[in-house]
């Protein structure tokens, strides 16, 4: 069985260019960022409904201080530093003629 090896003629001005790793990194980062939806979201203490009144007075009950039933420490409370929607897509900066 005879094997033929093809040696294509490649243009030197296209394929002879030195590789620039920072541009490859930017291209991969751009593609991965554009692929993300970025829609994960949670509610913090201020956005959970309810909890406008102190559950009990500040002193004299023997219980811990509490200002809202929507505190992140409580069941049904807000989330501390939860994910928020963010914009991760971007495009190449085109060089502008001066």
Residues 43 and 78: beta-carbon distance below 8 Å? yes
Per-residue pLDDT of the chain (98 residues), as tens digits, is 899 999 999 999 888 889 889 989 999 999 999 999 999 999 999 999 998 999 999 999 999 999 999 999 999 999 999 999 998 888 888 877 76
Q: How do the domains of the chain map onto residue ranges?
A: 19-88
Tally DSSP H helices, then E strands, for the chain.
Answer: 2, 0
What is the value of pTM for the model shown?
A: 0.61
Distance CA 65, CA 36 (A): 42
Copy the structure tokens of residue 45: 């203490």
Question: CA of 62: how far to CAs of 58, 65, 66, 69, 70, in Å?
Answer: 10, 9, 12, 17, 20
């Amino acid at each position: 069985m005879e094997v033929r090896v093809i040696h294509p003629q490649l243009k030197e001005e296209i394929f002879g260019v030195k590789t620039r790793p920072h541009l490859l990194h930017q291209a991969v980062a751009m593609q991965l960022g554009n692929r993300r939806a970025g829609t994960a979201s949670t509610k913090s203490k201020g956005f959970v409904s309810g909890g406008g009144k102190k559950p009990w007075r500040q002193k004299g009950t023997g219980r811990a201080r509490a200002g809202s039933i929507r505190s992140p420490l409580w069941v049904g409370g807000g989330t501390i530093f939860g994910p928020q929607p963010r914009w991760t897509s971007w495009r190449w900066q085109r060089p502008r003629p001066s």
